[in-house]
Amino acid sequence: MQLDFSAREVTVKLVYYGPALSGKTTNLVSLHERAGDEARGRLMTLETKNDRTLFFDLLPLTFKSETGDVRLRIKLFTVPGQPVHAATRKLVLQGADGVALIADSRLTETENNAASFVDLRDNLKANGNDISRMPPVIQFNKRDLPDIRSDGELEQMATRGRELVYLGVAKDGVGVLETFIGLLQLTWLTLDKVHDLGRKLRVSGDALLASAAMQLGATESVETILGQRLGGQLAPVVTDALPTSSARGATSGGRS
């Protein structure tokens, strides 16, 4: 997170994690299509061909508050899911403020989903963070395919964990906005709790989220969008020890 008081601007880094071919980039493309001209930046794919391949997508989004004087800039990254890109995943995850895990609903992918979660947990730890301080928002994508984990099972399991869980068909844009808004809300609540953003910028988080949803073409209310989740707790994640990256970000006001 970067806070620029003079420009009244917050920059938040969000990462879409998940196993290979689960639909992370499809989510980004769908968001890019939804976003109005004012909000969306250029969707960039970076791929360096070297012995240490760096490979990721970046979608910058900028949301203005209703009055237009506060800007919420989102740097939305995807990581490559293939095991070979471990270095990229770790690098991209550095300094992330929130993570969504895009899982493939098919039964055959159950183990890859779990492996990706474990990889996320390990990489957060390696970056000095902790999964308990950054619970991922989970999207079960590809709900239109056969042989998937059942709605009933997911609903039941979703009530057990604290992660927000959404269902999606990203290629048709289903669940994409819900997942993003859920992640944005959770991240804002946490950053606001830790850094008191709302008071410092004199802006209401709810209003900012509502205007972000509007700029992404939402026709329903934020309440309705947030209500689409299967389970999980939509409350700030605050533990005794602050994530070091955010603590560092807080003192770096002025950078943009």
CA distance 9 to 231: 31
By beta-carbon proximity to other proteins, the closer residue of 126 and 157 is 157
CA distance 199 to 35: 27
119 binds other proteins (CB under 8 A): no
From the list 57, 40, 28, the residue with the least C-alpha distance to 168 is 28
Q: Which tokens sit at 133?
A: 């301080």
By beta-carbon proximity to other proteins, the closer residue of 81 and 198 is 81
Angle at 196 between CA 185 and CA 71, to 5 degrees: 60
131-to-32, 57, 128 alpha-carbon distances in Å: 28, 23, 10
Please, what is the minimum distance in Å from the beta carbon of residue 50 to other proteins? 5
80 binds other proteins (CB under 8 A): no
Please, what is the minimum distance in Å from the beta carbon of residue 208 to other proteins? 27
CA distance 103 to 140: 5
Q: Are 98 and 15 in contact (CB under 8 A)?
A: yes
255 binds other proteins (CB under 8 A): no
218-to-72, 177, 179 alpha-carbon distances in Å: 17, 8, 13
CA distance 63 to 169: 25
Mark residues 23-42: x for contact with other proteins by CB under 8 A, - for none. -------------------x
Ranges within 151-190 binding other proteins (CB under 8 A): 153-154, 156-158, 160-163, 165
By beta-carbon proximity to other proteins, the closer residue of 85 and 195 is 85
Q: Are 228 and 220 in contact (CB under 8 A)?
A: no
By beta-carbon proximity to other proteins, the closer residue of 109 and 192 is 109
Q: Among 56, 63, 77, 117, indicate the residue that binds other proteins (CB under 8 A).
A: 117
Q: Among 39, 103, 183, 191, indicate the residue that binds other proteins (CB under 8 A).
A: 103
By beta-carbon proximity to other proteins, the closer residue of 68 and 152 is 152
The residues of the shown chain that bind other proteins, judged by CB under 8 A, are 42, 44, 48-52, 54, 101, 103, 107-111, 113-114, 116-118, 121, 131-132, 135-136, 138, 149, 153-154, 156-158, 160-163, 165
